[in-house]
Amino acid sequence: MLVLTAGAEENGAMIGLNDIEVARRRLRGVALRTPLVPCPRGEEGRALYFKPESLQPTGAFKLRGAYNKISSLSLEERGRGVVAHSSGNHAQAVAYAARALGTRAVIVMPRGAPRVKLDATADLGAEVVLVGPDSAERVRKAEELAAEHGYVPVPPYDDEVLIAGQGTIGPEILEDLPDVESVLVPVSGGGLISGISAAIKLTRPEVRVIGVEPELAADARASLKSGRLVEFPADQVARTVADGLRVQRLGKAPFEHVRAFVDDIVAVKEEEILEAMRRLALRVRLVAEPSGAVTFAAHLFHREELPSSRLTVAVISGGNVEPGLLAEVLSGSNLEDAREAATR
């Protein structure tokens, strides 16, 4: 059941090109300027390029936003430490950025997060606090810790400074492929697609920006169609193998960016995500976690829902996949075996 929530009327601040340029300066020498990788066996007149954010030091795009946010804090704020809530990639990014900037990090994560993400976050020096699978529970716990200890919150997506950091991907795409016609972007809480779509539309408004999310967590598509924030039940979104996209609804600031800059949102099936992972690994030599593979899944299986584009970029948002899940995917296992491997 879908639950309509208030909040669409409460406009979040919108970022501009200057905000993204400031973020680019902060991120020089920190975040990798990822290349555009051409998809082999491409069709004539329908070229696809991948933007592999899986190559970032933390294995996902989240480093851009987390570092931009923490580096924008005053010395007094950094001295108090930061707190974040995340299913994995934002956790690693905050831990990495906090260590680089000499700041304490406390991260609230779900107990069911992939072990590779839990371990990596702890290895980066962050204190990890475990809670249940509901994203609202993570938010509440992070707020409690901030109030009790004075930590500065670093939200995973509902923050304009963080959105500007994620938006630095946009200018890189436009500079490396000036004639790009469409950009496919994964959608979770909306920070990534907000930043990329703002950067692209404020520079080249004719470029189409299309979001992609799993059918089981297609709250952003429902929100864009209805004009109001739509929340999906926690037990439903928890069923998608794309653990990084298990957010129940868009943030308020991201929703305003999505309404202003995103052309459409496409939802993909679980089996399509796994097949896209397999082809990325075997044909393109790129390891993508399920959340990062959704854009390629849309390209492969939802052509009729996408713009007819001569040049398309698919953002691969991350590559932090559980080894057991990757092994199952490469062997061609079915969905249930892959899901089981993802929770081991």
Give which of 55, 53, 7, 23 is closest to 195, Cα–Cα: 23
Nearest in space to 70 (alpha carbons), one of 84, 87, 53, 86: 84
Quickly list DSSP for 179-244.
T--EEEEE-SSSHHHHHHHHHHHTT-TTSEEEEEEEGGGTHHHHHHHHTS-EE--HHHHTTSS-GG
d(CA 26, CA 197): 20
Q: Give the pairing type, strands 47-52 and 37-38.
A: antiparallel
The residue type at 315: V
C-beta neighbour count of 88 within 10 angstroms? 28
The residue from 71, 87, 197, 317 that is catalytic is 317
Q: Tell me, yes or no, if 72 is annotated catalytic.
A: no
Let me know if 188 is a catalytic residue: no
Phi and psi, residue 135, nearest 5°: -65, -30
Show the DSSP H helices in the chain as ranges. 17-27, 62-71, 75-80, 89-100, 115-123, 135-149, 160-166, 169-176, 191-201, 219-226, 234-237, 252-261, 270-279, 290-301, 323-330, 335-342
Q: What is the DSSP letter of 12?
A: P
Query: How is residue 169 written in tokens?
Result: 């991907």
* Active-site residue (options: 62, 69, 141, 252): 62
The values of phi and psi at residue 32, to 5°, are: -75, 135
Catalytic amino acids? 62, 317
